[in-house]
Amino acid sequence: MKKNHHIQEELENISPFLAHLRQEEIENPKVPDGYFETIEDNIWARIKAEDEAESWGKVNVPSSPVPKVTWLQRVKSWLLCPQVGVSFALVLVAVFALNILVNPTVEEGNIVLTEEEIDEYLEENIDQFSESLLLEGMSEELADADISIELNIDDADIDAYLEENIGEIDPNLLEETW
């Protein structure tokens, strides 16, 4: 087979030894006789078998008929259960009690703190906060902050750089970056 001149030249520049080796006629490894003539039949047989298995599964495992129930019917029957009524009542009592315990005197919405006031409070009472709570707060702030840096480098520039430094780039790094 005639070798591509450009590829041969490229190889010559990297390794004359391998370029010389490449010029020799290299035989392909062998394949069983008639392999390429039978591969098509094997593929069609496999596709057919898969299709049959799939349709067999569909025909032989019918889904059991499910009676149609509208969502309104479902909600209605659920609300009519006595357990649901009792649970609702208990939840309402619990929420009311909790509200009294948490906000004994101040109504929600009346307290408006500025950023500065919060910072001042934190500074004055820094010892009162656990380290993990402070770290948690910091990581949330960092997550919200826009710290992305946009690198406007052309693919062509990256390629040019890689080509110029071809021998110096860590091959393991190349393997990982794919």
Partner 1 sequence: MAQSVMEKNQISDEMILEKLSQKSTINQGFSWLLQKYKERLYWHIRRMVHQHEDANDVLQNTLVKIYRGINNFKGDAKLYTWLYRIATNESLTFLKKQQRQKSTSIDNEELNLNNKLKADTYFDGNDIQHQLQLALRTLPEKQHLVFNMRYFEEIPYKEMSKALNTSVGALKASYHHAVKKIEAFLKKEN
Q: Which of residues 11-30 bind partner 1 (CB under 8 A)?
A: 11, 14-15, 17-18, 21-22, 24, 26-30
Residue 109: both structure tokens together: 């919405």
Q: How many chain residues are in contact with partner 1, going by CB under 8 A?
A: 43
CA distances from 152 to 146, 147, 155 (A): 17, 16, 10
Q: Give me the least distance between CB of 58 and partner 1, in Å please.
A: 17
Among residues 7 and 86, whose Cβ is nearest to partner 1? 7
Q: Examine residue 4 and tell whether it contacts partner 1 (CB under 8 A).
A: yes
Rounded Cα gap, residues 152 and 31, in angstroms? 50
Q: Which of 9, 50, 136, 140 binds partner 1 (CB under 8 A)?
A: 50
Give yes or no for residue 36 binding partner 1 (CB under 8 A). Answer: yes
Neighbours of 11 (CB within 10 A): 18
**Token digits of residue 158:** 């990256």
- The correct pick among 23, 47, 79, 91 for binding partner 1 (CB under 8 A) is 47
Residue 11 in contact with residue 18, Cβ under 8 Å? Answer: yes
